[in-house]
Structure formats: C-alpha cells, structure tokens
C-alpha cells in the first residue's frame, strides 16, 4: 500500500499539524452558514427578492429537491425519506408543481434559467411520468436560456433507462451518480451494495443516452474503510474516466442524524487514516490526470471547472462548484435553499409539512437571513478564499465601515499567524493559500466569520 506526502511533508508530520490546528468548523457552503439563519422568514422579504429576479435580464439557477429514496444508506446526511408509498410521492409532486406555479407568478420580470439541478434524496426514484411532468411544467414557467446547463443527482440502483431518456430529451447533459466505495465489506457496513460491473454499465448507458458529463461521488472515512481498499476503489473508479469526481469526508454526526447510530464507531478509520485517504485521493486521481478542485472535488483538465480554477474564476453555491459567479439561485421543494443577492431562504424540510403548507395556499418558508453589507462582503471574501485560494480584502468596503475594518484587521492578523507554518504566503495586500494551506481552507475561512461564536452549540464535522 502506498502512503503519501503533501508538499514533501510526510503524512505523520502532517497529521501532527492537523491535530494542532484541527477544530470542528463549518463547510462554508454558504456565508452566513445555515445555523445562523432565523425562523420565521417574512414572506414579504422573499416576495421582494422574487420580484427582483430577471430585472437586469440575468438568468437564474433553479434547484428542485426530491426527498424520497427506496432504502436508507446508513451514512446519509441528506434530507432523504424512505418510502414505498406511491401516493405519498404523488402528493409531494402535486405540491412541487403548485409551488413552481405559485412562485413563478410572483415574478415581476421575465425569468429564465441557465442552470437547473435536481437533487435529493433521489430524483430518479420518482416514477418517470411524474418526473417528466414536473420538468415540463418547470421549463414552461421558468424557461431555459440558450445553452441552459441541466444536471441531475441519481442513485444508479433505481435509475431506469426510461428516466435517463426523459432527462436527456429535456436537455439534461450532466449526471452525478452516488457510489461511495466499491469494497464489499464497506458496502455492507453502510448498507449500500453496488458492484464495479454495475457502475461501469450504468455509465456506459448514461453516455449512450446522451449524458456528456458524468460525475461520481465517493466518501472517505466510512466504516471498515482501509487505505489499501480505498486506493483500489479510487483506481477502479478513475479507470472509468468520469469527467468529475467528488470525494467527501464522511460527516459522522450520530447525535443529530439518528440512523448513523447504526454505524459502529469502532469501525470508523482513525483520524490519521482519514487524512491519509484524502491524500490518497489526490495522489491516485492526480496520477490519472485529474485536477483537484477545491479540497474534495476532481475534474479532468479540460473540464469547465478545472479551466475556471486555473483562470481564478471558480465560484460555488449550494449546488456545488460553478463557473458562473453571482447567479441567483431559486430552491424549490422541501428543504430547498434559495440564494438571492441579499437574502438566503430555506423551505421546511419535512415533505408532509411542506405539502400541508402548499395545500393551505402558503409559501413553505422555514427560515432565512437578510445579508447586511458586512455579510455580503465577507461572503465574497470567504468564497474567493475557498475557490480561488486567495485572501483579499476589497478596498472600498474596508474604508466604509469602521466595525468591518476592525474585524478584517483582526482576521488578517490571525491569517498572518498561519504564515510561519507555511499555510499562506504574502501576495500583494493579501495572502495566497499554499498547497499545504489547501488542507486547512476551512480553518483559514473561520477568522472572517463574525457568527462563529454564536454557533458553538451546533455540531460541525471535522475541518479536515
Ligand atoms: C444527496 S446524496 C444523493 C445521491 C443519490 N441519492 C445517491 O444515493 O446516489 C449526494 C451525495 O452526498 C454524499 N453524502 C451523503 N451523506 C453524507 C455524509 N454523511 N458525509 C459525507 N457525504 C455524504 C454522498 O456522496 C452522496 O452521493
Ligand atoms: S445516499 Fe442517496 S439513496 Fe442513500 S439515503 Fe441518501 S439520498 Fe437516499
């Protein structure tokens, strides 16, 4: 079994650094992070944000959430509900269709989408005729702009050719399949079985039907995972040549996610092995020609994300990494998150509560956060840091608000404290995150987070 180095630092030494620096912290898929958002959210604020969409002829991104799955994977941290009751799914799909019409009729301008993403749960667990119906309705109410980018997350175990055809016919070209790990022992421990042959055929089918971009999700840090078997999974998956790969660190939060209690803590890899597995992903996938995108995503060098990263214009939103900065996002369905220019909002999570609220003629809003100028600027700083590995404080706002100025000065001092450890180097008026520092991007973002102290009661996953 090969073990790795990172920037010529041996794993054991790196592990010592991580022990020293590792605190639990947010993943910063948003700033301010979701635990800071407050309930209830005023429907007027949401209505105002909707009425601004399309005002400058800008298109938007749309996310639709499909919460149902055939069976529960023990590690799963998503808003997913197991059901075998078709009526339950039909009720949800009826509600989703009503929400699409209700929200679209609140637009004051013509709104088109340039990105559409279906996530879950498992969008392709929905019967194919119902899935086709909701997509046709969405495209009718929020039409696609020219070259709209459409993507779907699937559990390949339940995805039929019919699903793939209907999606391809509606312009979906990107597909993301969950795999997690190929080793049978690991698969038994997470209750999710799927062989290399099956995933190979699945990718071939998807490509033949018209998907031009395939992503595979893997997770490191799962129970019974070992470095050698994980390296085998990485090699086998890289040989399938997906365009993109995600290697998520397993977020084990059994106090919050009850079904994770069925995972035996003693079977989880040690913290040094967990770090080793992340380094394995970089080494094995790097050897197969993949570029690392952020910390845990990988793409072939000609993929849009890899190109955007090289050109310093990678960005991210709730749907993941993107090449388009500043696109407003409309999230529909239970737990759907919207990201407007100065407002975040989230729908209620439970699919039945969501359906009740829709049936009662309401907006199914749960909570949200209106961004202050400070929030907005800090969000840009954190996003730029996480995506493009640069830490810069913009001039204009720095001068405008004395409190913000003091906060930034303090944060930059903390960042400077990471320089002797080699995590950042001075660059212009700011810092550039080194390759070593990439392992600690979450730690480097934390000094800028004004809400960090408010979130101590919330359980975070490990930063590395
Ligand atoms: C929302 S799930 C949907 C995927 C689809 N239902 C499937 O099973 O293939 C998307 C991805 O989130 C990741 N994921 C889910 N729970 C996780 C956890 N606790 N820690 C890390 N990643 C997780 C998995 O890699 C999964 O493929
Ligand atoms: S990983 Fe996918 S299939 Fe498994 S429970 Fe989560 S959402 Fe459902």
Q: Where is pLDDT greater, at 72 or 311?
A: 72
For the cut 80, the answer to whether the pLDDT of residue 252 exceeds it is yes
Last residue of a domain, one of 277, 299, 329: 329
- Domain-embedded: residue 355: no
CA 393 to CA 362: how far, in whole Å? 41
Which residues constitute the domain of residue 220? Answer: 36-329
**How many independent structural domains does the chain possess?**
2
Helices (H), 170-261: 184-190, 196-209, 227-239
Last residue of a domain, one of 269, 295, 329: 329
Mean pLDDT, to the nearest integer, of 341-348?
Answer: 97
Ligand 1 centroid, distance to 238 Cα (angstroms): 19
Confidence of residue 259 (pLDDT cuts 50, 70, 90): very high
Same domain? 26 vs 105: no
For the cut 60, the answer to whether the pLDDT of residue 191 exceeds it is yes
Same domain? 320 vs 401: no
Which pLDDT does position 25 carry in this prediction?
Answer: 80
Question: Residue written as tokens 């005729």?
Answer: 129
Residue nearest to atom 6 of ligand 2 (CA): 76
Which pLDDT does position 20 carry in this prediction?
Answer: 82
Provide the CATH number for the domain around residue 237. 3.80.30.20
Most ligand 1 atoms within 8 A of CB, residue of 219, 233, 242, 246 to mutate: 219
Same domain? 167 vs 216: yes
Same domain? 57 vs 205: yes
For the cut 80, the answer to whether the pLDDT of residue 462 exceeds it is no
Neighbouring-strand partners of residue 9: 6
CA 307 to CA 291: how far, in whole Å? 10
Same domain? 427 vs 317: no
- Domain-embedded: residue 19: yes
Residues contacting ligand 2 via CB (< 6 Å): 69, 72-73, 76, 78, 80, 120-122, 155, 178
For the cut 70, the answer to whether the pLDDT of residue 69 exceeds it is yes
Ligand 2 centroid, distance to 172 Cα (angstroms): 21
Same domain? 216 vs 322: yes
Closest atom of ligand 2 to CA, residue 77: 6
Which pLDDT does position 46 carry in this prediction?
Answer: 98
- Domain-embedded: residue 318: yes
Same domain? 178 vs 54: yes
For the cut 90, the answer to whether the pLDDT of residue 414 exceeds it is yes
The verdict on the CB of residue 230 being under 6 Å from ligand 1 is no
Closest atom of ligand 1 to CA, residue 75: 19
Confidence of residue 319 (pLDDT cuts 50, 70, 90): confident
How much of the chain, in percent, has pLDDT values that exceed 90?
Answer: 83
| One-character DSSP codes across 244-304 | EEEEEEP---TTTSGGGGGS-GGGSPPHHHHHHHHHHHHHHHHHTTPEEETTTEEE-TTSH
| Ligand (nearest to CA of 154) | 1
Same domain? 262 vs 403: no
Handedness of CA 109, 115, 121, 123 (dihedral sign): positive
Same domain? 108 vs 201: yes
Confidence of residue 401 (pLDDT cuts 50, 70, 90): confident
Ligand 1 centroid, distance to 417 Cα (angstroms): 35
For the cut 70, the answer to whether the pLDDT of residue 163 exceeds it is yes
Residue nearest to atom 2 of ligand 2 (CA): 121
The verdict on the CB of residue 155 being under 6 Å from ligand 1 is yes
Closest atom of ligand 1 to CA, residue 73: 8
Phi first, then psi, for residue 195 (nearest 5°) are -95, 170
Confidence of residue 456 (pLDDT cuts 50, 70, 90): low
The verdict on the CB of residue 318 being under 6 Å from ligand 1 is no
Which pLDDT does position 464 carry in this prediction?
Answer: 61
Which pLDDT does position 253 carry in this prediction?
Answer: 93
Asked if 333 and 317 touch (Cβ cutoff 8 Å), the reply is: no
Ligand 1 centroid, distance to 75 Cα (angstroms): 8
- Domain-embedded: residue 410: yes
Ligand 1 centroid, distance to 77 Cα (angstroms): 7
Which pLDDT does position 4 carry in this prediction?
Answer: 74
Q: How many CA atoms lie within 13 A of 301 on its CB side?
A: 4
- Domain-embedded: residue 395: yes
Q: Which range (104-108, 335-339, 441-445) has the least confidence?
A: 441-445
Phi first, then psi, for residue 323 (nearest 5°) are -100, -5
The pTM of the full predicted model, rounded to 2 decimals, is 0.95
Same domain? 47 vs 181: yes
Can the peptide bond before residue 32 be classed as cis, meaning omega within 30 degrees of 0?
Answer: yes
Confidence of residue 393 (pLDDT cuts 50, 70, 90): confident
- Domain-embedded: residue 325: yes
Residue nearest to atom 21 of ligand 1 (CA): 250
Mean pLDDT, to the nearest integer, of 392-406?
Answer: 76
- Could you tell me the CA-to-CA distances from 326 to 61, 185, 255 in Å, in that order? 10, 43, 35
Closest atom of ligand 1 to CA, residue 180: 25
pLDDT digits (tens, 9 = 90+) for 78-130: 999 999 999 999 999 999 999 999 999 999 999 999 999 999 999 999 999 99
Last residue of a domain, one of 293, 314, 329: 329
Same domain? 313 vs 409: no
Mean pLDDT, to the nearest integer, of 37-44?
Answer: 97
**How high does pLDDT run on average in the chain?**
94
- Domain-embedded: residue 343: no
Closest atom of ligand 1 to CA, residue 78: 1
Ligand 1 centroid, distance to 71 Cα (angstroms): 13
Provide the CATH number for the domain around residue 420. 1.10.10.920
Same domain? 121 vs 202: yes
């Amino acid at each position: 079994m090969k073990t790795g180095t990172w920037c010529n630092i041996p794993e054991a030494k790196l592990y010592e650094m991580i022990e020293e620096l590792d605190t639990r912290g947010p993943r910063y898929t948003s700033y301010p992070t979701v635990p800071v958002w407050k309930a209830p959210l005023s429907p007027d604020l949401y209505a105002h944000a909707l009425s601004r969409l399309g005002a400058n002829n800008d298109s938007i991104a749309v996310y639709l959430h499909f919460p149902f799955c055939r069976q529960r994977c023990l590690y799963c941290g998503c808003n997913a509900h197991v059901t075998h009751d078709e009526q339950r799914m039909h009720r949800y799909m009826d509600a989703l269709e009503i929400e699409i019409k209700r929200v679209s009729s609140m637009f004051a301008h013509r709104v088109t989408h340039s990105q559409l993403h279906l996530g879950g749960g498992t969008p392709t667990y929905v019967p194919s005729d119902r899935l086709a119906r909701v997509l046709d309705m969405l495209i009718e109410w929020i039409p696609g702009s020219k070259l709209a980018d459409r993507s779907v997350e699937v559990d390949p175990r339940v995805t039929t050719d019919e699903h793939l055809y209907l999606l391809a016919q509606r312009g979906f070209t990107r597909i993301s399949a969950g795999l997690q790990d190929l080793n049978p022992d690991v698969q038994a421990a997470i209750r999710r079985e799927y062989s290399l042959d099956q995933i190979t055929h699945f990718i071939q089918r998807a490509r033949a039907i018209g998907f031009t971009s395939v992503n595979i999700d893997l997770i490191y840090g799962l129970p019974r995972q070992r470095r050698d078997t994980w390296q085998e999974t990485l090699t086998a998956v890289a040989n399938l040549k997906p365009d993109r790969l995600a290697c998520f660190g397993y977020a084990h939060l059994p106090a919050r996610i009850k079904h994770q209690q069925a995972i035996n803590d003693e079977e989880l890899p040690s913290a040094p092995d967990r770090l080793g597995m992340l380094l394995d992903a970089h080494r094995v996938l790097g050897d197969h020609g993949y570029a690392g995108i952020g910390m845990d995503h990988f793409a072939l060098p000609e993929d849009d994300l890899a190109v955007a990263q090289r050109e310093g214009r990678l960005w991210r939103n709730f749907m993941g990494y993107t090449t388009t900065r500043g696109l407003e996002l409309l999230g529909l369905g239970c737990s759907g998150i919207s990201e407007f220019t100065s407002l975040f909002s989230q729908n209620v999570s439970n699919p039945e509560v969501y359906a009740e609220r829709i049936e009662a003629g309401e907006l199914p809003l749960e909570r949200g956060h209106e961004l202050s100028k400070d929030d907005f600027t800090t969000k840009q700083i954190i996003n730029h840091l996480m995506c493009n590995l640069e830490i810069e404080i913009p001039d204009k706002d720095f001068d405008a608000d004395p409190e913000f100025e003091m906060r930034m000065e303090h944060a930059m001092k903390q960042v400077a404290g990471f320089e002797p450890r080699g995590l950042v180097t001075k660059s212009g008026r700011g810092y550039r995150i080194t390759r070593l520092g990439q392992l600690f991007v979450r730690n480097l973002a934390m000094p800028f987070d004004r809400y960090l102290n408010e979130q101590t009661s919330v359980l975070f996953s490990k930063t590395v």
